[in-house]
Amino acid sequence: MRALAITGMKRDSALPDVPTFAEAGLPKYDAYFWSGLVAPAGTPAEVIAKLNTVLVQALNAPDARETLMHQGLEPAGTTPPQFAAFIAGEVERWGQVAKASGAKLD
């Protein structure tokens, strides 16, 4: 099997010779994997702050970063407000895509 292109806007460190879709002629194609830790609504702010601190420390540990980067993942520890804004942007972005597609629930 041969990879044709990477769906994000920059090349994947695990597949450095595979071009992005933009490099392959589809400049507006940008879809990527992301993950994050969320907590139930109403979780105390001090608990969220502690979880965030510990998670960012773990993501910044050299061995963890190296392992993740080797798997083609780019760890990016952010603050809870930054992550909330990112999620809101993703909901807006993919909501527009879904509406434009005309997809319907059966």
pLDDT in tens, 56-85: 999 999 999 999 988 888 898 899 999 999
Map out the domains of the chain as residue ranges: 1-32, 45-101
What's the CA gap between 47 and 12, in Å, rounded? 34
pLDDT of 30 > 90? The answer is: no
Task: Give the residue-averaged pLDDT of 10-23.
Answer: 88
DSSP state, residue 10: S
For 102, phi then psi, to 5°, come to: 75, 10
Please give the residue that has the higher pLDDT: either 12 or 100.
100
Contact criterion met (CB below 8 Å) for 12 and 6: yes
Phi (first) and psi of residue 97, to 5 degrees: -60, -45
**Which own/partner contact pairs does 32-35 have at CB distance under 8 Å and 24+ positions apart?**
32/7, 32/8, 33/73, 34/86, 34/90
Question: Higher model confidence: residue 80 or residue 29?
Answer: 80
Q: What is the per-residue pLDDT across 37-53, written as a single tens digit (0 to 9) for each?
A: 999 999 999 999 999 99
